[in-house]
Structure 1
């Protein structure tokens, strides 16, 4: 038998399922879903109409933190929901308890932790890591190998270039004091973050900001300004022609 499908799983019309794929109890696959080879769809996962799950992908898995981890697993974590017309690339891992909207691309070898919310038409590039409790607004693009730390918020129409790193802990794992101040960055609507930039814990990147490649942002920024350097400082306003129109 090349497939193992639990009898309680609900499979829609015209669904294509590849070889050596496991679909666990309570999973729901909408109409016209395509599932590749060697895929694991964990219990209760919901996949919307027309979505594609590529080879060797794991969706809806329970988190299993280390014994020393500060993350506690919610015993009643909700199911993973993948919206309609999404593409989930090969070798990706998506955890239970997250919500992915319509027409989202999650490229190969990316992973999305639990309790994340990704709105419609978002692009998650190859090898991107989204830690737990991250929110990503509609039409945002997060390019290859970016790291979005836990408790970050990225709003609508944001561009995050390859290799961007975000952080959320000024104490880097030491002292009990850190638990009171762990906070990821907030990237406001239409901001652009250049390749290899670093956003420090809790900073707010204002609307329409342009953060140059390699900059280190250690404080809140002003709207529609270009920031460069280490630490980042304001260089000039963003040209009028580059601002997005309503």
Structure 2
């Protein structure tokens, strides 16, 4: 089903069993796979590719006891130029994916999320609401980015990393005043299976070793390791962001 009120460029390639709702805008060169659903008002810029069974522009449901999800009018989902979105993804209304973002299969990106250019969101990654992710970030398979998090440019988040945002684990109304996800400053890296406690800041070019539990802020350019994570040594000079060939700032 394709709404007569959708604006679809003649060059767009449509798979089978497509559903496109009213006021959708799809620019030239876009490719939609089979069973794709595009909810109303969604904007897909030129050259983007959307794989099978993906839902774009979904409105969030609010559980009766949700502490972060709000019932409000959201801006349309915007998919930038030459974005690639894999199969079986759900991208919510109110999100914005900038140019050249890559999203792997089975990923979920919530409302009030912005993702910078050339960032990679890996297979099965969940990015919760009210989160900002910079450019040229890499978030790998099955990482969990909780609501109210910030990840700056050039950060690396390894597989199965978990961010958290509630020190009270769902108990007491007072907890709602303190909700805060992690903040990763430019070039920070987090190793596989690490857990970052609520409100923690990982400094620029810092590195969290695999399997760590981070309970305190990490200074810039330091390596931390363990549970609880403690400073181990400085990040080697050759690993600093400023010394990488792809760094252009």
Q: TM-score, normalised by structure 1?
A: 0.97
Question: Partner residue of 1:220?
Answer: 217
Please state if 1:186 is matched with 2:183.
yes
Please state if 1:64 is matched with 2:98.
no
Question: Partner residue of 2:195?
Answer: 198
CA distance in 2, matches of 1:10, 1:47: 10
Question: Partner residue of 2:241?
Answer: 244
Question: Partner residue of 1:92?
Answer: 89
What per-residue deviation string (whole Å, max 9, x for no partner) do you get for residues 169-218 of structure 1? 00011101101100001000001100001100000000000100000111
How much has 1:66 moved relative to structure 2? 1.4
Please state if 1:27 is matched with 2:29.
no
Runs of 4 or more, structure 1, over 4 Å off, are: none
Please point out which of 81, 85, 109 is paired with 1:112: 109
Question: Partner residue of 1:144?
Answer: 141
1:65·1:71 contact (CA, 8 Å) conserved in 2? no
Give the aligned length: 243
Please state if 1:78 is matched with 2:75.
yes
2:68·2:147 contact (CA, 8 Å) conserved in 1? no
Please state whether the residue corresponding to 1:127 is helix, strand or coil.
coil
CA distance in 1, matches of 2:239, 2:18: 46
Please state whether the residue corresponding to 2:238 is helix, strand or coil.
helix
How much has 1:72 moved relative to structure 2? 4.2
What per-residue deviation string (whole Å, max 9, x for no partner) do you get for residues 193-246 of structure 1? 000011000000000001000001111111101100000000000110111225
Question: Partner residue of 1:5?
Answer: 2
1:36·1:53 contact (CA, 8 Å) conserved in 2? yes
1:46·1:79 contact (CA, 8 Å) conserved in 2? yes
Gap change, CA 1:177 and 1:75, over 3 Å in 2:
closer
RMSD: 0.8
2:69·2:129 contact (CA, 8 Å) conserved in 1? no
How much has 1:13 moved relative to structure 2? 3.3
Q: TM-score, normalised by structure 2?
A: 0.96
- Structure 2, unpaired ranges of 5+: 243-248
CA distance in 1, matches of 2:13, 2:226: 50
How much has 1:10 moved relative to structure 2? 0.4
CA distance in 1, matches of 2:222, 2:10: 51
How much has 1:80 moved relative to structure 2? 0.3
- Structure 1, unpaired ranges of 5+: none
